[in-house]
Amino acid sequence: MDAWLDATLKAVHVLAVVFWVGGMVFAHFVLRPSLEASGLEGPQRLRLMREVLRRFLRAVAVAVALVLVSGAWMVERAVSMVDATGGRFMMPWSWQVMTALGLAMTAVYVWVRLRWFAAMERALDAGQPPAAAAALAQVRRWVGVNIVLGLVVVAEAVAAAPSPRR
């Protein structure tokens, strides 16, 4: 049962991170340039991006919750196992890095959702495409920051994973 729970927690954690980071990479490097090349007028592109981002940001909220809960649960399980043996838990450096960067990514997500995406929606609702475009540019900038953070987290997880032995 314990091995099954550990594997499930790790799978949920990794899949949520992959969805979050992969979705940002797709939006930044595939969707956005494709929209620019599509021939859609600026206001149409902005409305489309609002709908795409609205759905994506909702899904990312679930992914963020899954990452935070599964990560905290895995750490708690490790602490409990060490405590049960009478040892003293020392969080590995790689876990500290992933935790710090994951919390930074969460803060950036909240900032994007509550500040810049909300500003874009307000501007579109008010019929102000230039203001909406400026807010979308900020979304793009901060998503770029989160992509870098996310890729560092993934690289750290891969580097910290035990290598198979021959």
Give the predicted TM-score (pTM) of the model: 0.91
Distance of CA 85 to the CA centre of its chain: 35
Distances (CA, A) of 90 to 67, 79, 87, 123, 154: 21, 8, 9, 49, 22
Could you list the pLDDT tens digit for every one of the 166 residues in the chain? 689 999 999 999 999 999 999 999 999 999 999 998 999 999 999 999 999 999 999 999 999 999 999 999 999 999 999 999 999 999 999 999 999 999 999 999 999 999 999 999 999 999 999 999 999 999 999 999 999 999 999 999 999 888 777 6
Q: Are 117 and 57 in contact (CB under 8 A)?
A: yes
Q: Are 117 and 139 in contact (CB under 8 A)?
A: yes
Which DSSP category does 72 fall into? H
Q: Smallest Cα–Cα separation from 97: which of 18, 147, 150, 20?
A: 150
Number of H helices, E strands in the chain: 6, 0
